[in-house]
């Protein structure tokens, strides 16, 4: 990783503090994510959404627990369909495969569909080093690229930006002041991107799912850019995490509404592209050649471990929408590609405890992420497990270790628990909370700005129970 890697150059606390100073982010992110969650709940009010989630969980569990078999089936089906398959053990190998294909094609211009996997391997700088013009064609990703920024949400990359910021970025490209109107701004970007589609030698996409039965890549988008990138250029390269497999086409009937519903509250996304190989003789459109790069990059190492369920993730972003930490600090605070609860799980698993381990502390363990996850990943259990691993790896600061040891020792005996509870009660009384639930003042005031510290009960629970 380069030295510009935020995960190596700063702590979560530093990054979070920086983001917390952004008052727009702290109102815009909760507003946008609340809307997505409310739409989901309204849409499925009269449906058995939990039953659908259970079906999704069962499909993902069955697939991932037998991943090597489905992977072999998928690769065989891809090859039957004329797709050239490449295997990448890590990010460097994936980048090299894609760079080599671009060189062989003599590519000067590449268009891309939004793909977190390509963010994960940091693809764009490598292609740009070769003099290739890379254009992100998802509107949000296009703005991220113009600003030399990073996406801050799995499906809403510029959730952290104001309309004025977007307008300023697009105005720079236009060389004039664009009107303060979302439709006009989008229209301008559409015009720019249309030229990029027409000029591109290669289209690069990710893959939401790969169907083992038929050798089909499935892309779900709400902009038409996915279809343009995968059908206009003469070559299409898809980068796919090895876990993003569904055994059969019928499984898509479950996973499509789940990914659309959990992500944006839609029953189905505006575009669902199913791509089963390059253009066949007699077909009027589609690429002449198609490659799929199968990315491992740490995924296989989770198979058969207590973290295998992290591979069930379908990257819908719903856990980010409900996470009280993400909603305040946004995606950049997590320091790598994936933010929110799933980011706090995947980052230490893919990057190691030393780089990403502290993210397991970036959670209130409220369990909201578990409740909304469309494939029922027990995120907060995984986060707790990662905290244990972090302690075992000696990555926890000494003062935290000492405090936790004293706490554990004290609460391991009834006497210790009662004594400490009594001391706490005395302490809270001393803070003036005997009968009321006031807001704190002084250095702790900010904590009670949005919540009231409950006053201690007159008779402790233990005494009443006795
Ligand atoms: S963990 Fe669940 S909710 Fe979060 S992105 Fe993955 S599938 Fe969606």
pLDDT at 2: 42
What CATH number does domain 49-300 carry, 3.40.50.300, 1.20.140.10, 3.30.300.20, 3.40.50.10420?
3.40.50.10420
Residues in the chain: 466
Checking if the pLDDT of 291 tops 90, the result is yes
Best probe residue, ligand 1, of 36, 208, 256, 262 (max atoms within 8 Å of C-beta): 262
CB contact at 8 A, 310 and 104: no
Read off the DSSP letter of residue 318.
Answer: H
CA atoms in the 13 A half-sphere facing the CB of 72: 3
Verify whether ligand 1 is closer than 6 Å to residue 377 (CB atom).
yes
Residue 436, pLDDT above cutoff 60: no
Structure confidence by residue, pLDDT tens digits, 1-31: 344 788 878 999 999 999 999 888 888 899 9
Domain boundaries, the chain: 1-47+317-395, 49-300, 399-460
pLDDT tens per residue across span 96-106: 999 999 999 99
Q: Which residues contact 318 (CB under 8 A, 6 or more apart)?
A: 36, 37, 40, 262, 263, 372, 373, 374
Q: Is there an atom of ligand 1 within 6 Å of 113 CB?
A: no
Q: Is 89 a residue whose pLDDT tops 70?
A: yes
Is residue 411 pLDDT above 60, yes or no? Answer: yes
Instruction: Read off the pTM.
Output: 0.90
Kindly write down the DSSP assignment for every residue of 113-137, as one continuous string.
---HHHHHTTHHHHHHHTT-EEEE-
pLDDT the model gives residue 241: 98
- 430 pLDDT more than 90: no
pLDDT digits (tens, 9 = 90+) for 153-193: 999 999 999 999 999 999 999 999 999 999 999 999 999 99
Residue 135 has pLDDT above 90, yes or no: yes
pLDDT given for residue 435 in this prediction: 55
Cα end-to-end distance, the chain, whole Å: 59
- Residue in 325, 363, 374, 376 to alter for ligand 1 test, most ligand atoms within 8 A of Cβ: 374
Residue 74 has pLDDT above 50, yes or no: yes
pLDDT tens digits along 343-395:
999 999 999 988 899 999 999 999 999 999 999 999 999 999 999 999 888 88
How high is the pLDDT of residue 1?
39
């Amino acid at each position: 990783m380069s030295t510009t890697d935020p995960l190596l150059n700063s702590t979560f606390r530093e990054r979070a503090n920086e983001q917390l100073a952004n008052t727009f982010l702290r109102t815009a992110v909760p507003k946008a994510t609340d809307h997505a969650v409310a739409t989901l709940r309204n849409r499925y009010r009269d449906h058995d959404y939990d039953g659908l989630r259970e079906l999704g969980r069962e499909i993902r569990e069955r697939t991932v627990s037998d991943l090597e078999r489905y992977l072999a089936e998928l690769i065989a089906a891809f090859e039957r369909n004329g797709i050239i398959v490449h295997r990448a053990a890590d990010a460097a190998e994936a980048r090299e495969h894609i760079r080599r294909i671009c060189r062989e094609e003599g590519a000067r211009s590449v268009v891309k569909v939004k793909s977190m996997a390509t963010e994960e391997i940091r693809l764009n700088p490598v292609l740009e080093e070769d003099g290739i013009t890379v254009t992100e064609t998802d509107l949000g990703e296009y703005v991220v690229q113009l600003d030399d920024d990073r996406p801050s949400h799995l499906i809403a990359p510029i959730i952290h930006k104001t309309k004025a910021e977007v307008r300023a970025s697009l105005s720079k490209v236009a060389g004039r002041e664009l009107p303060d109107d979302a439709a006009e701004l989008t229209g301008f970007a559409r015009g720019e991107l249309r030229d990029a589609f027409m000029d591109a030698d290669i289209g690069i996409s990710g893959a939401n799912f790969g169907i083992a039965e038929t050798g089909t890549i499935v892309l779900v988008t709400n902009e038409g850019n996915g279809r343009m990138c995968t059908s206009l250029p003469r070559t299409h390269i898809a980068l796919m995490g090895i876990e993003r497999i569904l055994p059969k086409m019928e499984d898509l009937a479950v996973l499509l509404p789940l990914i659309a519903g959990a992500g944006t509250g839609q029953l189905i996304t505006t575009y669902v592209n199913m791509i089963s190989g390059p253009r066949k003789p007699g077909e009027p459109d589609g690429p002449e050649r198609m490659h799929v790069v199968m990315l491992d990059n740490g995924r296989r190492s989770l198979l058969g471990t207590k973290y295998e369920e992290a591979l069930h993730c379908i990257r819908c972003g719903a856990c980010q929408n409900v996470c009280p930490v993400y909603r305040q600090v946004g995606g950049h605070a997590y320091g790598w590609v994936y933010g929110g609860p799933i980011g706090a799980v995947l980052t230490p698993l893919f990057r190691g405890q030393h780089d990403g381990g502290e993210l397991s502390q970036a959670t209130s363990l409220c369990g909201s992420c578990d409740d909304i996850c469309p494939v029922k990943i027990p995120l907060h259990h995984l986060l707790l497990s990662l905290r244990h691993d972090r302690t075992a790896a000696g990555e926890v600061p000494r003062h935290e270790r000492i405090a936790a040891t004293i706490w554990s020792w004290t609460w391991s005996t009834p006497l210790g628990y009662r004594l400490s509870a009594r001391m706490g009660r005395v302490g809270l009384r001393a803070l003036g909370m005997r009968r009321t639930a006031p807001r704190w003042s002084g250095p702790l005031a900010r904590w009670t700005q949005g919540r009231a510290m409950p006053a201690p009960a007159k008779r402790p629970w233990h005494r009443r129970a006795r």
